[in-house]
Amino acid sequence: MNSERKVKLAPSLIAADWSRPLDVINELAQAGCEWLHWDAMDGHFVPNLTLGPMFLAALRPHSELHFDAHLMLENSGDYIDGFLEAGADSISVHVEGNPHLHRLIGRIKEGGALAGAVLNPATPVELLDAILPELDYVLVMSVNPGFSGQKFLPVAADKMAKLRRMRDEQNLQFLIQVDGGMSPETARVAVRAGADVLVCGASSVFIAGQPLTQSVHAMRQAIEAALQDEVEVTR
Ligand code: DX5
Ligand code: ZN
């Protein structure tokens, strides 16, 4: 039932103040965030350059948060071992551009991390049909990846609702993660559609001039409101 449903927050470090990453991570943990989202971009798969495994490895000894790596790389398979060694707790790879997705998911799981597959906004959920039972989570992109601060695309809500139905029908356990354009308003839409993990960047958690605890609190309130909506609908 809904009362047992727990929704996690996964702030994305690319939207944080990079001059003091450890302080930010500690503040997020204190504010009650469960996951920390690491966006790895290579300037080819997406037009931006960000975090490699070295950065994750440097901060790993200083935090007990769940480190969640989202690989937006042309050759994701070449970097999975690096992120595993760095200490990632979960790693997701895109369906697009990875013809041997099954192999990559297997490698992530063998390495002891949770394995996720990512869908860009234009990619249908049906592409995951054959691999769904192998996945620990599905990441539904609600923006075209590359940058923080973009607008939530409503097509993501339809896709999450579909995934949730597939999960129920097939009696599977994977989590549904959503990434892009989260705010208290869109979080409510996403949670009602079935999101279990919300990636939060510049539109929700890292807002200039606003303390992180205040941003996190606003997101929690939106999540609670969405869960309450659901209880009322099913009552
Ligand atoms: C976008 C990244 C996201 C991004 C989210 O390509 O994958 O994780 O940082 O930031 P917001 O929530 O601002 O869209
Ligand atoms: Zn991401």
pLDDT in tens, 23-66: 999 999 999 999 999 999 999 999 999 999 999 999 999 999 99
What pLDDT is recorded for position 1? 45
C-alpha–C-alpha distance, residues 229 and 234, integer Å = 9
Q: Which residues, in sequence order, are bridge partners of residue 90?
A: 68, 114
- What are the backbone angles phi and psi of residue 88, rounded to the nearest 5°? -65, 140
- Give the pLDDT band (50/70/90) at residue 3: low
**Residue 133's CB: how many other CB atoms inside 10 A?**
12
Per residue in 114-158, pLDDT tens? 999 999 999 999 999 999 999 999 999 999 999 999 999 999 999
Q: Which residues, in sequence order, are bridge partners of residue 201?
A: none
Distance 233 CA to ligand 1 centre (A): 30
- The protein residue whose alpha carbon is closest to atom 11 in ligand 1 is 201
Helical ranges in the chain per DSSP H: 21-30, 53-59, 80-86, 101-110, 155-169, 184-193, 212-234
To the nearest whole number, what is the mean pLDDT of the chain?
Answer: 96
- The protein residue whose alpha carbon is closest to atom 4 in ligand 1 is 148
Q: Is residue 119 part of a domain?
A: yes
What pLDDT is recorded for position 232? 80
Q: Is residue 3 part of a domain?
A: no
Distance 153 CA to ligand 1 centre (A): 12
Q: Is residue 1 part of a domain?
A: no
Q: Is residue 138 part of a domain?
A: yes
Please name the amino acid found at residue 151: K
Q: C-alpha 127: how far from its chain's center? A: 19
Q: Is residue 2 part of a domain?
A: no
Q: Is residue 160 part of a domain?
A: yes
Q: Which ligand is the nearest neighbour of the Cα of 142?
A: 1
Query: Among the options 39, 42, 68, 136, which is catalytic?
Result: 39
Q: Is residue 63 part of a domain?
A: yes
Q: Is residue 64 part of a domain?
A: yes
Q: Which two tokens stand for residue 64?
A: 């007990």
| Statement: residue 211 has pLDDT above 70 | yes
Domain of 135, CATH number, reads: 3.20.20.70
CB 38 within 8 A of CB 15: no
C-alpha–C-alpha distance, residues 35 and 149, integer Å = 19
Query: Among the options 42, 68, 179, 196, which is catalytic?
Result: 179
Q: Structural domain tally of the chain?
A: 1
The pTM for the full model equals: 0.97
Residue 108 CB burial class (10 angstroms; 0-12, 13-18, ≥19): buried
C-alpha–C-alpha distance, residues 1 and 166, integer Å = 17
C-alpha–C-alpha distance, residues 23 and 41, integer Å = 23
C-alpha–C-alpha distance, residues 182 and 180, integer Å = 6
C-alpha–C-alpha distance, residues 210 and 231, integer Å = 31
% of residues, the chain, pLDDT over 70? 98
Q: Please, what is the Cα angle at 9 between 122 and 220, to 5 degrees?
A: 115
Domain range spanning residue 55? 8-234
